[in-house]
Structure 1
Amino acid sequence: MKPYERKQLLERVEREGATVGASIPETIDVQGKEIALQEFIFETKRRNTIPPDDRERVERLKKNLRRERRQRVQRIEDDDISFETGERLVESVIGIDRALSALERLEPVDIEQEIATKKTADRKRWSNFLKRALGREDSSSRGRR
């Protein structure tokens, strides 16, 4: 592959709207294991809530997809491959990006718990802000955020 072709492929991978119109691959080979990706995502989206067991599976799948994406982009960048192989890798990376986007939009496991967690974090930030603004922050709490 010529350098300008490699650059063109890498730009396609990083293009902001690359996933627009792209579909989630039916299956994908991740770390040597074939996953029915499209079916898993659609099944998970159909439920009103995601049970904790499936949440862990979703997080593990996202982590594995990100790793697989990095490896495929690395192949485009570094390996001595043909332009056609590079194009197939780009299409697979875009499919992975589309799948990751769908997985990121899945509903949280427990909305009430998430709201409570956010409120607690907001209160803590507000309290720390007031302490700093009023000069009541002691030296032992500085630098810990």
Structure 2
Amino acid sequence: MKEFRRKQLLERVDREAATIGTSIPEAIEVRGESIDLREFVFEIERRETVPSGERDRVERAKRNLRRERRERRERIEEGTIPYEEGRELASAIVGIDRALEALESLDSGSLEAEAERREAADRKRWMNFLKKALGRDDSSSGRTRS
């Protein structure tokens, strides 16, 4: 694989927003064993919280996914594989990252709930800014201007 292609693939997998619009892979092979990754993540996400009996299973899955991600990235980094194989590895890594994000978010709630909380906080900050900028917030005198 050419050096610039290898760097492109590494940049792709290391990009912070790489998982946006990416689906969790249907299945993934980890250490020679096929795992129904999408079904596993959706099964865990369906619950409000992860039951204590499932926590170990989820933590083990996250460790295995992180290890698999690291090993696949190292294969790209070495550059001794054909470009097509590198592209497939990069796509798989981004899918693994998407699954890891979903599993990591379980402790703080669903991805959608977290996004809604952030959006509501952003709207509130924006409205407060607009009120101050337009002179409609005179909290020191206890009244608002008309």
**What is the TM-score with the length of structure 1 in the denominator?**
0.72
- Where structure 1 has 5 or more consecutive residues not aligned to the other structure, the ranges are 109-145
Aligned residues: percent identity? 58
For residues 38 and 70 of structure 1, the distance between their equivalents in structure 2, rounded to whole angstroms, comes to: 20
Moved over 6 A (4+): none
- Where structure 2 has 5 or more consecutive residues not aligned to the other structure, the ranges are 109-146
Per the TM alignment, residue 17 of structure 1 is displaced from its structure 2 partner at its CA by 0.9
Partners of 2:3 and 2:79 within 8 A in 1: no
Deviations 1:67-113 (A, max 9, x none): 000000000011511111100000000000000000000147xxxxx
Which residue identity lines up with residue 9 of structure 1 in the other structure? L
Partners of 2:22 and 2:98 within 8 A in 1: yes
Per the TM alignment, residue 33 of structure 1 is displaced from its structure 2 partner at its CA by 1.3
Which residue identity lines up with residue 52 of structure 1 in the other structure? S
Q: CA RMSD for the aligned pairs?
A: 1.1
For residues 32 and 15 of structure 1, the distance between their equivalents in structure 2, rounded to whole angstroms, comes to: 28
Does residue 103 in structure 1 map to residue 139 in structure 2?
no
* Alignment match, 1:90: 90
For residues 10 and 61 of structure 1, the distance between their equivalents in structure 2, rounded to whole angstroms, comes to: 24
For residues 43 and 13 of structure 1, the distance between their equivalents in structure 2, rounded to whole angstroms, comes to: 26
